[in-house]
Amino acid sequence: MAVSSTSATPGRACPGKPRAHHPASRYWYRIRFTEEEVRRHRVEVFLHRFERFYRTLGCPEGMVLYRTPGTHDYYFSCGPFEYAGRIYREFPAERMDHPPEGELELVFGEQRC
């Protein structure tokens, strides 16, 4: 998946022109929590912030959070949006150039508001 670093929200490139949503327009991220972060309940804080971000954006289609079973590795997409500044500063994530692969369990997303 190609990722553009020129626009925070690709849909804003052509105002007034609807942009079709397709998997290539998604930005994917990975965040790995250490055992220390798990003990400090950082995972719960991240899940809360992610849900709040989801609702603030108006529940965009394609915004999802997955977890690799048995680990503290999370993969997420904010749909057509890039990962927001405030949450990124608190929970830095690695931007991926492709969707996650392997066994994943859905934690959050793809639900109606």
Task: State percent of the chain over pLDDT 90.
Answer: 42
Residue 113 is predicted with a pLDDT of 46
Q: Please give the model's pTM, rounded to 2 decimal places.
A: 0.71
Smallest CA-to-CA distance from 62 within 49, 81, 83 is with: 81
- Which neighbouring-strand residues pair with 7? none
Distance set, CA 89 to CA 4, 99, 108, 110 (Å): 20, 22, 21, 25
The DSSP letter of residue 106 is E
Q: In angstroms, rounded to a whole number, what is the distance separating the alpha carbons of residues 49 and 52?
A: 5
Residue 18 is predicted with a pLDDT of 37
- Write the secondary structure of 12-73 as one string of H (helix), E (strand) and C (coil): HHCCCCCCCCCHHHCCEEEEECCHHHHHCCHHHHHHHHHHHHHHHCCCCCCEEEEECCCCCE
Distance set, CA 106 to CA 15, 35, 67 (Å): 33, 21, 7
Does the structure show a pLDDT above 80 at 96?
yes
